[in-house]
Amino acid sequence: MKMIADGLAIEEAFECVLLDYIEYESSVFRLSLEGLIRGHSERNSNFFDNRRMINRSISNFLSSSRAYTDQIEKMSLTYKGIKAKTLSHEYDTNSVYPFACKLRNYVQHYDVVIHKKRHGSFTLLEDFHSEGVSRPHNSSLELIIDKNRLMETDVFSKKVLEPMPDEIFITRTFRDYLGCLLRIHKTIRDEIKYYELCVELSKSEIDDKSIDMRKVDALLGLIRKNYPVDIIQNTKMIGVK
């Protein structure tokens, strides 16, 4: 069935987005920890390896996000109205979304995206709201994009760059961008309703040779594994600058 195939395609693309986002956060955490232990020095023998690692994770996250939104563009030809409720809505209402879309082109065709880095600290959100307890500060690495560097290229329009600060913190921006993608994904599920169809098929005892139950099971597994609303809430616990 087409809806099952479409649902599986979009859920697999969404899974790649999440895996690449986790890889990015993990690479930043690794460099933060290494800086805490070794000291914040570029003389470390593996400095350039680390920089390549984090640039790769940035490129992968932006590329998988593009592949995911391309799937939605393709599906909008069949499921009328979902583009306006998802991609177009985020583009018009959240300045981070169009910026991240253009950032992928910059990374692909111009330069590494990390222009500056700064070592700081963050407090866990759960400790931040706790009263009567000390607030532990954890070492963090802030990766920064210089807005002026972006203005020197033809990738970004004035409209896209104007709302962004002069120093654009990559991790903070990526978390906001992931929030856009999570809202998009929740709307896709609500509009296409392939989850409801999967549940109905899995409970049915009809022996229909045209339905590949392996795809239905795989789709159900991905849906239950990655629930967008839960992920939005969970990412708030990573830390606040």
Instruction: Among 58-67, 151-160, 207-216, name the one with the lowest average pLDDT.
Output: 207-216
Q: At what angle do helices 194-203 and 2-38 cross, to 10 degrees?
A: 110
In the three-class reduction of DSSP (H, G, I as helix; E, B as strand; rest coil), residue 240 is classed as: strand
Segments making up each domain of the chain, as ranges: 2-235
Q: Kindly report the CA angle at 41 between 118 and 119, in degrees rounded to 5? A: 20
Q: Kindly provide the residue ranges of all beta strands, DSSP E only, lying in 63-210, ordered along the sequence.
A: 116-123, 137-146, 167-169
State pLDDT tens for residues 161-193.
Answer: 999 999 999 988 998 999 999 999 999 999 999
Q: Which helix (H) or strand (E) holds 61?
A: helix 47-75
Backbone angles phi, psi at 183, to 5 degrees: -65, -40
State pLDDT tens for residues 63-89.
Answer: 999 999 999 999 999 998 899 999 999
- Please state, as a whole number, how many other Cβ atoms lie within 10 Å of the Cβ of residue 121: 13
Stretch 197-221: mean pLDDT: 76
| Alpha-helical regions (H) of 142-208 | 147-151, 158-161, 170-192, 194-203
* DSSP 8-state symbol, 101: H
